[in-house]
Structure 1
Amino acid sequence: MPPASLRPCRHRGCKALVRGGGYCEAHKAESSNWSKGEARKGSTTARGYGYRWQRLREFILARDCGICQCEECKALGRVRIATEVDHRVPKAEGGTDDPENLRAINADCHKAKTGREGRRGQVGRRG
């Protein structure tokens, strides 16, 4: 089998050529390693988001009429389509999959909330 052809480094503006289409030596730190991290976490079923969760997720989205229920959207009177389900109290902080602890949420709102929760957890570990 012939070796992989040379392709430009994936870093914007870099003209270095690499085999297989990744990053050159100067930019290899930009590789996300996403698939390696995801493999370490286990499948969605192994993490507790299997068939039962998918059914519960559908129920919550229908219950909330597919509208984001986050505090910010409610406070601003903003209507955004919800495509995800959020734990009001995160599971890492003792929250459960009880429907009272779940709400429909917009993907961008969910990402922002998860980021705030992550920073809150980091602050506690530093001190």
Structure 2
Amino acid sequence: MSLVDGEGILTAVVGIGGGIYIAVAGAALALTVGIRTMSDDTYQHRVFPELIHAADDVGWVMHATGALGLAAMIIAASLAFMWAGTWSTWAGWLGVIVGILSLASVAFFPQFLFLLWILIVSITMFLRGKPTARAV
């Protein structure tokens, strides 16, 4: 990415956006699982079911909020890949659209889109093989 992104802005957005998603999604998982485990640890299930339900909802909203960072990562990576010629222009713009739709992750459906984007990019990068050296 550094060949296309001389100033490092897209690279920074990819790294920071991915980091934000990992941190917030991890916190959401910790909150949800922590409260459920607390219920099991009492051996009498004294945690109110409403609290467990609230933890599920809060965990979902936190995960969707973390997807804002993921959306920034997807948009920046798609633009960098497109500008570098790593993949075709239509795939780059499709990635930008997926990134924009990921902003609405609280609605559930975009979650499948960004997971599909990650899968496709991973497979594409795996199948590309070893990069060739470029003349400087």
Q: Fold conserved (TM > 0.5)?
A: no
- Using CA pairs under 8 Å that are at least 6 residues apart, name the structure with larger relative contact order, 1 or 2: 2
Pair member with larger Rg: 1
TM-score bracket for this pair, using the shorter chain length? under 0.3
Greater share of helix: 2
Structure 2 length as normaliser, TM-score? 0.24
